[in-house]
Amino acid sequence: GFIEQRKILERLGPDRLKIIGVNWFEDATRYPGESMRLNRLLDRVAPGITALEGNEAVYDAFGRFRGLPALFVFDGTGAEIYRFVYLGGPGNVNADYQTIRALIEALS
């Protein structure tokens, strides 16, 4: 969750780790300023984590994946090193935190 992400971010520092959330569920045309409102919340509960509006360009950039939540981890060169996409069913809904933590700490 955001608390664990914030702890990793604090340990590594914002110059070495960036966490960006993509907001796919809010309709920006129906709710103007939704990203700004979400980022104000994140500033309070998870400083250093930024939310962007999901759109077709973002969807294309990540390979038009199916399923949410989805998580992508990139190394310092921009190469994707981990991908989790929830495909439905009774399996894991979220990426395994221990795996993510190990990957990120290995990059530091």
Express each pLDDT in 29-52 by its tens digit. Answer: 566 667 777 788 888 887 788 888
47-98 pLDDT per residue, tens: 788 888 888 888 898 888 888 888 899 988 999 999 999 888 777 788 888 8
Strand blocks (E) in the chain: 19-23, 49-53, 70-74, 80-85
Instruction: Name the residue with tokens 């907001």.
Output: 23
